[in-house]
A and B are shown apart, each in its own frame.
Chain A
Amino acid sequence: MFENISLAFQGIWGHKMRSFLTMLGIIIGIASIITIVSTIKGTNDQIKESLIGSGTNAVTVQLYQDNYAYTITSYNPAPQGISPISEDTRQQLADLDNVVDVSLYCRRRVDSYEGDVCYMNRAYSGDLFGVDEHYFSAAGYRLSYGRGFLADDHARFRKVAILDTGAVSSLFGGEYPIGQILEIRQEPFTVVGVVEKAARSDFAIETMRDYEMYADNTGGRVFIPLADWPIPYAFDEPQAVVLKAASTDDMTRIGQQAEDLLTASQITDAAQGFAYQSDDLMSQAADIQKLSNATNNQLLWIAGISLLVGGIGVMNIMLVTVTERTREIGLKKAIGARKRRILWQFLTEAAALTSLGGMIGVAAGVALSRFIASAMGTPTAVSYPAIAVAVLFSMFIGVIFGMIPAVKAANLNPIDALRRE
């Protein structure tokens, strides 16, 4: 077997030009498949990283009604029968395995025509949050400039506000916001700081709704201390929770445990159809990945056709080789080579040829995807299982398309084979 393989490679080396041209179809096919797969994997990795691994590991658990996230607005009022989360419950959440931090918050969607949040004569559309002192670290924000909320702000019900960069641009345009007074339901709040997402990537998505919001580019976020929430709104509006997990792998489990705990403790019989649910980031990532995979799979089929064409080229050359080497085959049979040995010899040659083509194709594909990554800025990631599959598959193509020539060689009649000069 080993001798067969080394003889096969000697044969390939003996006809460099011809072997290369024969392999070209396989090389192109494998190279394009590797490139496509690398691009798919790169895109998927990026999506996953943006959605989940943006460094925050934040799990949001919020109120859902009949499996839709429930957003409180003026026309979509806070439901009755859901109590604010007690210090006791908060502690239980903090005691879950691998929970690093817990934060409670209230959230409303406000619209400019209602005029809930205004600066001078400008009304704001976007999200209004009432957050406790843990929120910014748990949800993964960092201070951009100004200051954060102080313990005093919560304790003394100071009317201060912090904006994210989106809210700054929609409310203040180019103006410097620190020290300015916002009106929230006619109550004056002083802007003390500006925050931004701590993630490296600016493509930061936490939930599907965030994704839509970023796409629409509406508003932004205005934060006030949770303790101040009853000033503009009711004191018993339902709260949501952000949990910071120790690692990405804990996120799904922590989300589910928090759902169960909050649904059991907060939802009373008066709030039929409501439940706390976590945003399953993993499944959201999968949804987006599915979208990009669908288009790329079609490309893979097209690349597969070039492999088929390459395989036919290999078969063609192997048939020529068998004809050229008729005398060799005849002699080998005359001195006692069985049919099966001749068959194996030619199958090995075809498989060696296509495997070599596959390996060159892999190298070309990796180089090409690197080039695409640097030239176009799209991410690629080399997939090692894909490389293994590609090489094995090209060997398989050699066996399949080498079969007809090898059978022809094995069935040669030794007399006819020797007679041919």
Chain B
Amino acid sequence: MLLEMRDICKDYPQGKELVKILKHVDLTIEEGDYLAIMGPSGSGKTTLMNIIGCLDVATSGTYRLNGEDISRASENHLADVRNTTLGFVFQSFYLLPKLTARDNVALPLLYAGVKKRVRRERAEEALTMVGLADRIDFMPSQLSGGQQQRVAIARAMINQPKILLADEPTGALDSTSGHQVMDLFDELNGRGTTIVLITHEPAVGQRARRVRRILDGRLLAEGEGGVGDAW
């Protein structure tokens, strides 16, 4: 089992009250899985994503990732987990505007302590994999939205992570670029990468192998709530 969450709760203080964002969430993900988490805004899907992605820690419950209990791991250890085990793709790409595509892609390797020459080679390979071999030395501002998102995917994949986490990856793209990105996800999953996707677009969710819905902080059982429902 690659990922196992048991009884995860997350509270946020809001003024004097504690708001329960996540309520007793159980989730397991196997290696090679392709899961979409769908829910309306405010349902807690981003918070769940942050906890899965080790950007946030749960208030209670246990979280095992890759065979290791990281519910109480130190900040530095979580940084290392994000660096090596996880890859992130965000709605608005988050590329550093003053670095070339290659340098953006190579950044996680810098934090992993890889030598410069190796970083450059592997960044080139990753960009070739996402079909941007001819855009290696372009600045993000010279790339289209779809190309930028593919650079971001190359960056997420450069450390060969166990799980690729994508938060509304097509939210800022036109439908053609969105399809290209989703095709890329299918390809990566076909090669064995586990993918967890959050979205509120049914068309995007449908491409995943499994869909779990989240509503008011509760993760519904598989098959609960129809795929085509409007939120």
Contacts and interface: CB of A to CB of B under 8 A. Distances in A.
Interface size class of A (residues with CB under 8 A): 20 to 34
Given A331-B96, A334-B53, A418 B90 contact: yes
Give the interface centre of A10, A333, A334, A338 by most chain B CB atoms within 10 Å.
A334
A13 to B, nearest CB: 11
Contact of B88 (A3, A14, A335, A337): A335
B75 interface: yes
A339 B76 contact: yes
Contact of A335 (B75, B98, B116, B155): B155
Interface size class of B (residues with CB under 8 A): 20 to 34
Contact of B98 (A3, A10, A330): A10
A67 B62 CA distance: 89
Interface string A1-44: 00100000010001000000000000000000000000000000
B47 to A, nearest CB: 9
A191 B29 CA distance: 117
Contact of B112 (A14, A336, A339): A336
B100 to A, nearest CB: 12
Given A14-B98, A327-B94, A328-B96, A335 B108 contact: yes
Given A339-B76, A414-B55, A334 B88 contact: yes
Contacts of A327: 94
A234 B96 CA distance: 97
Contacts of A339: 75-76, 79
A335 B99 CA distance: 15
Contact of A334 (B82, B98, B159): B82
Contacts of B84: 336
A77 B40 CA distance: 114
Contacts of B55: 333-334, 414-415, 418
DSSP majority for the B interface? helix
Nearest to B107: A335
B43 interface: no
Give the interface centre of B50, B55, B96, B107 by most chain A CB atoms within 10 Å.
B55
Nearest to B94: A331
A332 interface: yes
A411 to B, nearest CB: 10
A335 to B, nearest CB: 5
Nearest to A419: B46
Given A341-B111, A415-B56, A418-B90, A336 B82 contact: yes
Contacts of B76: 338-339
A335 B82 contact: yes
A192 B108 CA distance: 93
Interface string B178-197: 00000000000000000000
B170 interface: no
A338 B79 contact: yes
A152 B206 CA distance: 126
Interface in B71-92: 75-76, 79-80, 82-84, 88, 90, 92
A333 to B, nearest CB: 7
Given A415-B50, A415-B56, A336 B80 contact: yes
A336 B96 contact: no
Interface string A382-418: 0000000000000000000000000000000011001
Contacts of A421: 92
Contacts of B75: 338-339
For the complex of A and B, the 3 pairs showing the least CB-CB separation, nearest first, are A336-B83, A336-B111, A331-B94
23 contacts: A3-B110, A3-B116, A10-B98, A327-B94, A330-B94, A331-B94, A332-B111, A333-B82, A334-B82, A334-B94, A335-B83, A335-B108, A336-B79, A336-B82, A336-B108, A336-B159, A337-B111, A338-B75, A341-B111, A415-B56, A418-B55, A418-B90, A418-B94
